[in-house]
Amino acid sequence: MIPRTIARKGEGIVFIDQTLLPEHLEMVECTDLERLARAIRRLEVRGAPALGIAGAYGVAMAAMQSEAAEMEGFLAEAVNAAEFLRATRPTAVNLGWGIDRVLAAAGAAESVGAAKEAAVVEADRIAAEDEATCRAIGSHGAALIPDGARVLTHCNAGGLACSTWGTALGVVRSAVEAGKKVSVTACETRPLLQGGRLTAFELAEDGIPVRVITDSTAAFLMRKGEIDCVVVGADRITRDVAFNKIGTYMHAVCARHHGIPFYVAAPRSTFDQVLGEDEVEIEERDEEEIAVFNGRRTVREGVRCTNYAFDATPLDLVSGIITEEGVLRPPFDPMP
């Protein structure tokens, strides 16, 4: 089992630099907000629940470092830190959720000292809850996975995307823990290869059978009868769609075509009760992530690349949403 993806260390944070995996498992100690923001933008820390924890610890770190004597100045600094972190990545709702929980805890305190304490306690609570939440998602989801199942997943919704255990991979881990034989087909997940680099790494570390395919192989394997179900994570679930890593939607369409169950595993903190699909900003990342591969330019200079980080899967393609409270079944409208 790999170490916790992200944790508090004194007044700072320690996290796995996921850009170095699978070759190097390196922990980064971080005590400043700029560094944390860079880590989030570069995907050193990534995955919706881990972003929630990172946002929470980021605000707690700013709170601990504040030299303000009065609550007004202290809270203004905390809000600045919060908005700075919130702007790093727009799609995963958990980032803002973690940030807002810590802000609210600090804001309810009556002195700067108490607010600092409350911020740290709340951030630690968010990190601790994450493991319990993932375990609960895992045990609800494991019941849906038949013995011998060949599960397809996309991107990384594992321990590396949370504090530990994972959401989609938590379902796999819990099924294995329950004595089921399960194997995983991990889509490599162009362009940043979270499936090939991260999902395969963490499952192999746990001795869970895994193979990696190119994203475009998924439909072919479904047609050949080599996939029994699809389980993915989510960055935001609105009343109409589930946002997840770009490519998820095509797996959902293909799964429906082949009569294969398509599950989304996500904590309640990933649900957005306010916005609809068209109001959510889908992160667009640097064209270079597509145009340069392994240090080599693979797309002619000057040719435009479109690099959406996420897509939206209509909920009518989803067979079930696995949460820590149980499995939601269609129709999902209105979302409970």
Decide if residue 133 touches ligand MRU (CB under 6 A). no
Show contacts with ligand MRU in window 40-59 (CB under 6 A).
43, 46-49
Is 234 a residue that touches ligand MRU (CB under 6 A)? yes
| Neighbour order of strands in the sheet with 12-16 | 6-9, 12-16, 27-30
Residues in region 173-232 near ligand MRU by CB under 6 A:
194
Is 235 a residue of the active site? yes
Least CB distance from residue 109 to ligand MRU, whole Å?
31
- Letter for the amino acid at 231? V
Closest CA to 168 of 182, 220, 179: 182
By the rule CB under 6 A, 155 interacts with ligand MRU: yes
CB closer to ligand MRU, 181 vs 268: 268
Give the integer Cα–Cα distance in Å for 303 and 205: 40
Of 205, 199, 162, the residue nearest 184 (C-alpha): 199
Residue 13 bridge partners (DSSP): 8, 30
157 in contact with ligand MRU (CB under 6 A): yes
Nearer to ligand MRU, 176 or 234 (CB): 234
Quote the least distance from Cβ 80 to ligand MRU, whole Å. Answer: 24
Q: Is 295 left (phi over 0), alpha (psi -120 to 50) or beta?
A: left
When asked if residue 291 is in the footprint of ligand MRU (CB under 6 A), the reply is no
- Given the complex with ligand MRU, which of 234 and 312 has the nearer CB atom? 234
Report in angstroms the alpha-carbon separations of 233 from 40, 100, 193, 238, 286: 18, 22, 16, 14, 23
CB of 119 to ligand MRU, least distance (A): 24
Q: Which is nearer to ligand MRU, 63 or 129 (CB)?
A: 129
Nearest Cα to Cα of residue 91 among 308, 325, 330:
308
- Of 124, 235, 311, 316, the catalytic one is 235
How far out from the chain centre does Cα 336 lie?
A: 22
**Coil, helix or strand for 196?**
helix
Q: Which residues are catalytic?
A: 235
Tell me which residues touch ligand MRU (CB under 6 A).
43, 46-49, 92, 155, 157, 161-162, 167, 194, 233-235, 244-245, 309
